[in-house]
Amino acid sequence: MTVKIDKGRALDGINLTPMIDCVFLLLIFFLVATRFEEIEREMSITLPQASEAMPLTAKPKELFVNVSQEGRFIVSGQELGRTELYTIIEQAAANNPGTQTVIIRADKRCPFEHVVVVMDLCNKAHIRNYMVTTSEPERGRANE
């Protein structure tokens, strides 16, 4: 005696043809788009040369501002006053608008007000990405 199992009619009405058409259209689109990209790279053109050329995806250089124990500002080995430091920070912001990073390296014995001065100058130059660095504790002295 055979047993008849009723599988229902839910799957009888699904038409897969439109979905298969969409998949084929997407496949053709991506194949054609990839081919155009290859053609643009294969074009024989001579690019101009520049001595200071950099790729467009290069990250802007970070500006390091060192603050000595006495509160002196040192950038690239040069000791600067407040106005000179602001000029350099402002120029860096103009060269890399919205992406300039300033890293403040202050001596641990330096009064914090000198670090605040650098932060204030960064804010005036519309640089919001600044940070104060620290060093890792030496092994064995971490618990002191």
Task: Classify residue 48 by its DSSP letter.
Answer: P
- Residue 102 contacts by C-beta under 8 Å, 6 or more apart in sequence? 62, 63, 64, 65, 89, 92, 118, 122, 127, 129, 130, 131
Instruction: Using alpha carbons, select from 64, 63, 81 the residue that is nearest to residue 72.
Output: 81
Residue labelled with tokens 């912001």: 93
**pLDDT tens digits for 61-115?**
788 888 888 888 988 888 899 999 999 999 999 988 888 899 888 888 888 899 8
Q: Read off the pTM.
A: 0.55
Torsion sign across C-alpha atoms 105, 106, 112, 114:
negative
